[in-house]
Amino acid sequence: MSENSTEQLLQDLMKRVEALEAKAPEDRLALGVMSGNLDQTIAAFIIAIGAAAYDMQVDMFFTFWATAALRDPRKTASKDMLGKMFGMMLPKGAGQLPLSKMQMLGMGPQMIKYVMKKHGAKSLEELMKDAASLGVKIYVCTMSMDLMGIKREELIDYPHMEYVGVGTFVDIFSKAKQCWFM
Amino acid sequence: MTADELKALQIGKLVDARGTACPGPLLEAKRTIAECPVGAVMEVQSSDDGTIIDVQRWCKKMGYEYLGDREDDGFWSVYLRRVK
């Protein structure tokens, strides 16, 4: 093989490797969080924290019912009539989320919180703080917020929070090795 | 390593995660390994026996040396060395 063609081959290979690297998924986890249920939201944060312990970048996309889990019960926001009605019907933050099973008119969540405390399991609010300290990012679906009349000023003070649409979530999960929707 | 050998190790960093449930022990291990000097041994105490396999797998992925585990009085101790 002549020196020229070797050089050419090497250049072609380099180009292909670069193209492959640009497309290769990264060691990242993308989580779509939708249910707004206590149990599923806790699971999402436990998995997020576990992945962060593996030094993975974790991006959580909160949509539909899950946006209410990010409300801060101490904060208020001015809203129109419909927004006020939704605001009253939706849980005011992590502390008020219902269970997907065994809701039992509100007794279920109280019982789960009791056994979790007894077993040293952290509350959802504590898990959110851990996630924040590990750099887990939360992306909130702005359309869901609009639909339910949820305002930015009534959400928790989470250090890595952004307000986005599905386009951002697609960009995020297209780079991630794993994407779950729960 | 045998339980006696593990017990005789000089511990650089001790993580007492006995009061916390999953993902507490792994999270505490992750937080404390940053303070553990390279070459030193870290002991993670947990009352959840799932921690043993969890930390083994975590060590393999993160490049730490898993030394072993032993059962103590109602809890488990797992040992690893920060090699890098």
CA distance B54 to chain A (A): 10
Chain A residues close to B61, C-beta within 8 Å = 54
The per-residue pLDDT for range B10-65, each reduced to its tens digit, is: 999 999 999 899 899 999 999 999 999 999 999 999 999 899 999 999 999 999 99
Is it the case that residue A2 has pLDDT exceeding 80?
Answer: no
Query: Which residues of chain B approach chain A closer than 8 Å at the C-beta?
Result: 19-24, 26-27, 29-30, 47, 58, 61-62
User: Could you give the dihedral angle defined by the CA atoms of residues A9, A11, A16 and A17, in that order, rounded to the nearest 10 degrees?
Assistant: 110
**Residue B26: what pLDDT?**
95
The answer to whether B22 is a known catalytic residue is yes
Q: Do A54 and B62 touch (CB under 8 A)?
A: yes
CA distance A43 to chain B (A): 10
The per-residue pLDDT for range A96-142, each reduced to its tens digit, is: 999 999 989 989 999 999 999 999 999 999 999 999 999 999 999 99
CA distance A119 to chain B (A): 7
**Residue A1: what pLDDT?**
58
Which three-class secondary structure state does DSSP give residue B82? coil
* Residue in A with minimal Cα distance to B30: A53
CB A90 within 8 A of CB A83: no
Chain A residues close to B30, C-beta within 8 Å = 52-53, 134
- Residue A137 φ/ψ, nearest 5 degrees: -95, 140
Catalytic site residue from B22, B53, B62, B83:
B22
Domains (ranges, CATH) in chain A? 26-181 (3.40.1260.10)
* Residue in A with minimal Cα distance to B62: A54
Domains (ranges, CATH) in chain B? 3-81 (3.30.110.40)
Q: Do A49 and B20 touch (CB under 8 A)?
A: no
Strands (E), chain A: 26-33, 57-62, 137-141, 161-164, 176-181
- Residue B45 φ/ψ, nearest 5 degrees: -100, 130
Q: What is the mean pLDDT of chain A?
A: 94
The per-residue pLDDT for range A39-61, each reduced to its tens digit, is: 999 999 999 999 999 999 999 99
R_g (Cα) of chain B, nearest Å: 11
Across residues A148-159, what is the average pLDDT? Answer: 96
Task: Please count the residues of chain B.
Answer: 84
Alpha-helical (H) ranges within B1-84 are 3-8, 24-33, 50-62
Partnered with residue B18 across adjacent β-strands are: none
**Residue A70: what pLDDT?**
98
Is it the case that residue A3 has pLDDT exceeding 80?
Answer: no
